[in-house]
Chain A
Amino acid sequence: MDKTGTAGNRGPRVRSDVWVEVSPVLSGGIQINIKSKVKALFGRQIRELAEEVLRFFELENAHVFIEDAGAVDFVLAARLEAAIKQVTKTEKEFLFPLLEENTTATKKDNFRFSRLYLPGNSPKLMINAGVHKPNGLILDLEDAVAPAKKFEARFLVRNALRTLRFYGAERMVRINQGARGLEDLNYVIPHHANMILIPKCESEKDIRQVAEKVEQLREQHEITHPVWFMPIIESAKGVMNAYQIAGADPHVAAMAIGLEDYTADLGTHRTNEGIESFFARSMVVNASRAAGIQPIDSVFSDVSDMEALAENVKRSKALGFDGMGCIHPRQIKVIHENFAPDAAEIDKAKKIFLAFKEAEAKGLGVVSLGSKMIDPPVVKRAMNTIKLAVNTGKLNKNWMEN
């Protein structure tokens, strides 16, 4: 009984997080020592939740130390559970109710201009992420979590999926590679994730094993909403197999490219212009389109240079991508603005669409605008442009009435 379970973070710069130590002892009951910067206002609540969690895990004698920096309940409970599970064996899970708003299902062709990465073990970045209105929020269990923190991050991500407000963003999780990633799914699938990002995919097998595990969990937990996959291609081999990966499972809804690892694999450096990755990006776009899914571009890593980001987004859009990743909330707006159709594109699309409606009303088989004939794919693209314009707030959805 001399083991101590620990979880969380502490230090002068830590906020919205908590450090906990749980040491089971032979007798003496539960002793909780709390240090908190919000103790005057939340000391009682912290103690009560800690007692509840310990009771739930049937810990009767333990010393508990809590060093809190303003963590909300779901964070504290996740930290306690992670610490307790290091020192006791239990299959139980301390779960908060799943927020009603966190039970929405998403569509395969959901709007995915922007998806914001949130390090899976950093609660401070999670709390307000949704208010920045990305299309998707990714709780990242992979690269953003240090190896020593992988275990505790699962509880935090699980609790976040249930309790965190996403403000309409699609609920995504990036799992780890291989066996660890499959284990991650146990903490994710039962808690209404909409999309799983699968890193470093090189073959269809990488997708199939995830799909099988997800299917098994869906049955076990009687899950009815769809769980989509977004494989991330991050190697030369992955690029060569892009089309097979894109078509590996009907739940693959989008495919992304990760350029940091890819350029390293090529033995070159990533540049803002991206000439070195032109082939790979084109492959991902082409393979995705061929498989009928969304091609998604890599993140842009210089968070302070919004102009370079805007240029990058324009190049992405021109290559045929449908969206890209963000690592800072400030990037979201730039990505939306530059992926969205511009005024000239919207104007042209409106004219084409109106001409199409007019031809339809007159029962004409051929659409013409001025002296030009308009082909069906052009009409389809115009309709898509209008949809994007409405979705990005560039066009009022009742524009036809005005």
Chain B
Amino acid sequence: MKKYDKVVKNAAGRQVPTIINGEEHVPFMGVGKHKPAGRKYAPRIASCADYPEDGNKEVSSLKEALINAGLRDGMTISTHHHFRDGDLIANQIFDIAHELGVKNLRWFPSASFPCHGHLIPYLEDGTINRIEGSMNGALGRFCSEGKMAGLGVLRSHGGRYQAVQDGEVQIDIAVIAAPTADSFGNANGVNGSAACGLLGFALADSQYADKVIVVTDNLVPFPAIPWQIHGNYVDYVVKVEQVGIAEKIISGTTKITKSPDRLLIAEMTARFCEAVGLIHDGFSYQAGAGGTALSIGNYFGDILRKNRWKARFIRAGSNKYPVEMLEEGLVEYILDGQTFDMEGIRSMRENPNHVWTSPFTSYNYHGKGNFASLVDVVVLGATEVDVNFNANVVSHSDGYLLHGIGGWQNTLFGKTTILPVPLFRDRIPVIRDEVTTLCAPGEMIDVIVTERGIAINPLRKDLITKANGIGLPVKTIQELKKEAEAICGVPDKPNLSNEIVAVIKWVDGTVLDSVYKVLE
């Protein structure tokens, strides 16, 4: 099977394959242009007659569960990434597959982390054919250098839900590592020593996979409450010693930046939002967990406090900073997609206004709306932006895969999307003639804030008018690009082959761009 075939130019002007790993895919047609037909995918109908009446679905080991689930060549195995770099389960699945001599698997994680570098030998020996999910660190290098047998497919969190719901990816076996579960398969992430807050990224997997295995180190008597994952979807439950390493589940990035340059960018972003009237009583925003985004949230808090306003909700990957705002009464709800620290987990456990969400409620583009488009201000990072406001979040300017898409593409549908980015990083200008990898069409990006000036997308005439005379350095994106190049020099293009190693999906399942093999 060819990795890909039939490359065409899509509506964004990018060359993309329409046959990927032997299956047909639709090229990007423009934002909101592709209308799906047909009905959603449905898993097989199960019968209670086949499950124990006492509700006890426990089996002795993960290996037994995988064998019972019918693990064999060519299957699609899914996992979630709520344990981040502290995940102990995904690697074990493929250790077992390797031991059983199973080949050609598709791993379908909601994201991968450096700890999954362990899987490289299995990618080399054919146990795993390909990863469809974010790839960074050693896995990103492996894929970028063209070493993966199959073609990588990168999707947003919402796009992953969409792909499963639409039947584009049919999961054979979902393995859901859970901090707490009962033997019926009900599971949650708020309790247990590997508590991670919620299990939203595993929701689609539980609903649509053919077989579902819940793995826990904290087995409690029925019912495991809250039942974030319903046991009614679950085939097998496995009790293990440890599912995740708590210190590594907590993300290391969730501290407000101390870098004066980033603080300046954060302050300028908040001042801009305040000056053009984006912040008001009852507004909502998306807070990232990076140092700059956290700092922006802090400044937003100051503005709310000063005006005696309340935000209606924060869309978060939560941590102690939004939690403090919730508890201070500066915000009414946190709608949480993933929890980054112990304070976030505690708050989610104790506070009914700290709500666990899923990619279905927040991001799924093939639904009857999702709340991403209701968010007033969205603050995101990017590795590159081009002069047409197209943005890249997955690859470094040298072409290597660096980050996953995460919820990034989905949140672009908020009312105003702002990218606070340094004008250059280690001599590499962020603003380019053309992004290395297209992850967001320019029409989705409204404002770029750098330490040397703010550029507003010409499509946002309203913001351009309001930004007149606010005392902040508003410049054109071309001016910002020139300013960076005067300092850094003009970079060459990275040395890339025309061989495609992965594709970037848009939120509607169409193919937005290709990732090319990096040459030495």
A residues with a Cβ closer than 8 A to B are: 15-16, 37-38, 40-45, 69-73, 127-128, 131-132, 165, 328-330, 393
Contacts and interface: CB of A to CB of B under 8 A. Distances in A.
Contact of A69 (B260, B426, B452, B494): B426
Nearest to A128: B261
B495 A72 contact: no
Contacts of B427: 16, 38, 42, 70-72
A72 B488 contact: yes
B41 to A, nearest CB: 41
Contact of A40 (B263, B487, B495): B495
Given A128-B451, A131-B452, A38 B260 contact: no
| Interface of chain B: mostly helix, strand, loop or mixed | loop
B60 to A, nearest CB: 46
Contacts of A40: 397-399, 492, 494-495, 518
A131 to B, nearest CB: 5
Interface in B467-489: 471, 487-489
List of 3 A-B pairs having minimum Cβ-Cβ separation, nearest first? A70-B426, A40-B398, A329-B260
Nearest to B453: A131
14 contacts: A38-B398, A38-B428, A40-B397, A40-B398, A40-B518, A41-B492, A44-B492, A45-B492, A70-B426, A72-B488, A73-B489, A132-B260, A132-B264, A329-B260
Contact of A37 (B426, B495, B518): B426
A31 B258 CA distance: 41
Interface string B425-436: 111100000000
B398 A127 contact: no
Given A131-B264, A132-B264, A70 B428 contact: yes
Nearest to A131: B451
Nearest to A130: B452
Contacts of B452: 131
Nearest to A44: B492
Contacts of A38: 398, 426-428, 491
Contacts of A127: 487
B260 A72 contact: no
Contact of B260 (A37, A70, A73, A330): A330
Interface string B92-132: 00000000000000000000000000000000000000000
B260 A328 contact: yes
Nearest to A330: B260
A226 to B, nearest CB: 28
A45 B489 contact: yes
A127 B427 CA distance: 10
Nearest to B519: A40
Given A41-B428, A131-B451, 17 more contacts: A16-B426, A38-B427, A41-B398, A41-B493, A42-B427, A42-B428, A44-B492, A45-B492, A70-B426, A70-B428, A72-B489, A73-B489, A128-B260, A131-B264, A165-B487, A328-B260, A329-B261
Nearest to A124: B426
A42 B261 contact: no
A321 B278 CA distance: 40
Contacts of B425: 70
Contacts of A42: 427-428, 489, 491-492
Contacts of A43: 492
A271 B495 CA distance: 57
Given A37-B426, A330-B263, A72 B487 contact: yes
A393 B472 CA distance: 12
Nearest to A127: B487
A330 B257 CA distance: 12
Contacts of B489: 42, 45, 72-73
A70 B495 CA distance: 18
Interface string B408-426: 0000000000000000011
Interface string B443-467: 0000000011000000000000000
Nearest to B397: A41
Contacts of B399: 40
Contacts of A72: 427, 487-489
Contacts of B493: 41
Nearest to A133: B264
Contacts of B492: 40-45
Nearest to B260: A329
Contacts of B488: 72
A42 B428 CA distance: 9
Contacts of A165: 487
A51 to B, nearest CB: 15
Interface string B362-403: 000000000000000000000000000000000001110000
A37 B452 CA distance: 24
A165 B423 CA distance: 14
Nearest to B267: A333
A73 B491 CA distance: 12
Interface string B489-506: 101111100000000000
Contacts of B426: 15-16, 37-38, 69-70
A329 B261 CA distance: 8
A328 B264 CA distance: 13
A41 B260 contact: no
A165 B260 CA distance: 17
A38 B426 CA distance: 8
B284 to A, nearest CB: 29
A328 B488 CA distance: 24
Contacts of B398: 38, 40-41
A327 B451 CA distance: 19
A131 B426 CA distance: 17
A53 to B, nearest CB: 15
A45 B493 CA distance: 12
Contacts of B491: 38, 41-42
Contacts of A16: 426-427
Interface string B258-291: 0011011000000000000000000000000000
A366 B495 CA distance: 78
A337 to B, nearest CB: 13
Nearest to B399: A40
A330 B264 CA distance: 9
A71 B488 CA distance: 9
Nearest to B400: A40
Contacts of A45: 489, 492
B494 A41 contact: yes
A129 to B, nearest CB: 9
Contacts of B487: 72, 127, 165
Contacts of A328: 260
B321 to A, nearest CB: 18
A183 to B, nearest CB: 30
Nearest to A333: B267
A72 B424 CA distance: 11
B383 to A, nearest CB: 13
Contacts of B451: 128, 131
